[in-house]
């Protein structure tokens, strides 16, 4: 009986030694796996973003990604989806970096999109093209421009229009950037013309790492006299 007890104690000691010795090995394997996963993500050259906007159109959801494989030679293949109500849009584009340095960054993103109103179930509802997005960073100055064409009449979904959004921000510090913003909508066709021009101010506030809250307050200059014309937008963006 005493011999069995001695062997049992020896066995428990050996198992304990092996278990303790395996901890660093398991940790090292997990650490190496994590490094390999990070390396694979870096090698893929992919980045993503999530965005919500709330304005006169309602609450809109955007999700996008930018893929920069080596064979594109510095260019990126960009995709995103845009959803508001029963309307969904898919956009495809090509990111073109013009300048990329510590002091100056300039890039263009031409895109083309197709929209579907899933409540109608009649196929495409809108062609969103051409689209051109411009991004410029110069020190504490950031400039962003949107130019989009909306062609709905071929699908009997409404009128055609051209829309542009332009704003320039100055970074007061690492958290807050402020500046002016202008948005213009021009209707196309026989009864077209300037249908909307909103002029106002914008503030971007850092909400932790990779998070930005944007607030735009503007005045709609094309409203009737009896209406105030005060409008705006709240935006949340997360990048990774």
Q: What is the architecture, at CATH level 2, of domain 46-239?
A: Beta Barrel (2.40)
Task: Render pLDDT for 166-212 as a digit per residue (tens, 0 to 9).
Answer: 999 999 999 999 999 999 999 998 888 999 999 999 999 999 999 99
What's the pLDDT score for residue 19?
Answer: 43
Confidence of residue 37 (pLDDT cuts 50, 70, 90): low
Cα–Cα distances in angstroms (integers) from residue 173 to residues 48, 107, 170, 212, in the given order: 25, 24, 9, 14
Q: How far is CA 215 from the centre of its chain?
A: 16
**DSSP 8-state symbol, 68:** -
**Structure-token match 């609450």, residue found:** 59
Residue 42 has pLDDT above 70, yes or no: no
What's the pLDDT score for residue 28?
Answer: 47
**DSSP 8-state symbol, 9:** H
pTM of this prediction? 0.81
Residue 15 has pLDDT above 60, yes or no: no
């Amino acid at each position: 009986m005493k011999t069995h007890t001695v062997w049992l104690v020896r066995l428990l000691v050996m198992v304990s030694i092996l278990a303790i010795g395996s901890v660093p090995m398991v940790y090292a394997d997990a650490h190496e796996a994590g490094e390999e996963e990070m390396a694979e993500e870096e090698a893929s050259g992919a980045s993503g973003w999530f965005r919500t906007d709330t304005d006169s159109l309602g609450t809109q959801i955007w999700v996008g990604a930018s893929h920069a494989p080596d064979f594109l030679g510095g260019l990126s293949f960009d995709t995103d989806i845009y959803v508001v109500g029963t309307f969904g849009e898919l956009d495809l584009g090509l990111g073109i970096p013009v300048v990329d340095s510590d002091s100056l960054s300039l890039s263009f993103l031409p895109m083309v999109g197709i929209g579907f109103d899933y409540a109608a179930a009649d196929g495409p509802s809108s062609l969103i093209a051409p689209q051109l997005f411009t991004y410029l960073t110069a020190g504490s100055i950031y400039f962003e421009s949107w130019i989009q064409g909306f062609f709905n009449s071929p699908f009997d979904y409404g009128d055609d229009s051209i829309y542009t959004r332009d704003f320039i921000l100055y970074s007061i510090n690492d958290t807050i950037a402020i500046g002016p913003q202008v948005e213009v909508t021009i209707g196309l066709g026989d009864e077209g013309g300037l249908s909307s021009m909103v002029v106002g101010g914008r503030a971007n506030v850092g909400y932790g790492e990779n998070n930005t809250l944007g607030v735009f307050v503007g005045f709609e200059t094309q409203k009737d006299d009896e209406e105030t014309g005060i409008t705006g937008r709240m935006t949340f963006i997360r990048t990774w």
